[in-house]
A and B are shown apart, each in its own frame.
Chain A
């Protein structure tokens, strides 16, 4: 464990991080957050002096994928050190303590840093029944409400915490909801993605340490710097889309040539995330580069947005069948109408009598 009283600058120095390495990180952070280069010294000064904020990490209905993503990001980089040097006081997957001792750590962090600690949540919260997901016998809802009450801000990590995610997919058996559905009196920042990009978390933390505020957010409460443009608009395969060159299957010539994956169900046009620019695994690659369409995992309800392998423009239902049934129904109703018409016509014909001039004179 490290000393909580050290500033970030001091801790980094102890870990052998050079001034150059530190400034490089600050520059990268500034560019990541779309801040002008003139802000780099400000960020550096603020980060150096910053005390490690206490962070409580709550995991609810989740798969631990978000934690995996963050902890297994790149081997020791400055980003990881920053991440290590927040004071992660409670994280039930990563902490050594368990049971009562673990809960005691949470209580302690909550009370010692009342109103100052950051609350990170991954996973959705079940409202269907408190027993669907509990930690140390405490329901997720109760733990969230209790902990959020004293938090400075809440960071909802992953699509489950941000929007309900997979647990909320139809028919939503647990009645899963997002953090923002429950907490309305605290600033909430949604870092969506299944899982989200690790650097986005460190970027948000760096912003918070530097300015003491949360970064600018989009309409879904996500940091604009990372979620401001669509995958489609930043995709290196976009020129193929515009030229009309598409992979039709996963192993045809188009796929081998790296053409656009729209027809194979890529949800890039509706997905807002930074994958196309920041990439994954130390900038090695990202889903579209590996030959698979984007699932749109950073968007609300992405599990219910039609098949992953159906183009975005295709409705979610079986339209071929609908059109067939409707056509058959139209024919049936049409035939019935024709029948009625014919019957009326023949009735009229039968009632038709001939009239002669004499007849007319008689009646008049």
Chain B
């Protein structure tokens, strides 16, 4: 009879410790792996600097290239909408900030719940749009493999369960809150070993692109 509460206590206890450990070990290991691999020494005489263009590219790549937007407007718009919705609901919902504060020892101000609520809806709608695009656009469909759909689901479930839990659309509440936390634990466990790792590697890749071009004295 009290399974939902036992389930909630399990996801808030053991399961969270295990998934957090896998997440942190996985991330550190992957970053270490990438950074320590190094690159073969480039013996050619450099024509420009690496650092400046590298840092600049990290920022400039936030703006979508005009050609991409023309060819795939939905990818760009829905991609931005869902990322912004996801980031707002993840980092500016007060209960989430409490979790970060308990982990890192510092927090930051949150946003009022109606704004977070709207951001969550944007995130859900954006994710549905990118999925629809992936399934209907022949090129996208050809490029997609199982991992793409898995990563989509891992991102979608926390948003959906979070929305259901906040609005108490599932009874009993401990069950849906537990499912929400469990969905995030799955996300954490698979994060370092899937494309979700782009959250970190994105910056390395952009920097490398910028630096490489900077060294050759060309625009990146």
Contacts and interface: CB of A to CB of B under 8 A. Distances in A.
Contacts of A317: 13-14, 16-17
A241 B113 contact: yes
A269 B94 CA distance: 13
A263 interface: yes
A319 B100 CA distance: 10
Interface residues of B, number: 48
Interface stretch (B49-57, B104-112, B120-128, B148-156): B104-112
Contacts of A312: 95
Contacts of A334: 28-29, 31-33, 36
A313 B103 contact: no
B67 interface: no
A118 B153 CA distance: 51
Interface of chain B: mostly helix, strand, loop or mixed: helix
Interface of chain A: mostly helix, strand, loop or mixed: helix
A316 B181 CA distance: 13
A331 interface: yes
Interface stretch (B58-66, B73-81, B133-141, B165-173): B165-173
A317 B16 CA distance: 8
Contacts of A299: 5, 174
Given A300-B5, A334-B28, A325 B21 contact: yes
A218 B14 CA distance: 29
B177 interface: yes
B53 to A, nearest CB: 28
A347 interface: no
Given A180-B1, A242-B114, A270-B177, A330 B25 contact: yes
B32 A322 contact: no
B202 interface: no
Interface string A253-280: 0000000001100000110100000000
A304 B10 CA distance: 11
Interface string A312-337: 11111101101101110111011101
B36 A315 contact: no
16 contacts: A218-B172, A220-B1, A221-B1, A244-B110, A263-B94, A269-B173, A270-B8, A301-B6, A305-B12, A311-B98, A314-B98, A320-B104, A325-B21, A326-B20, A329-B25, A338-B36
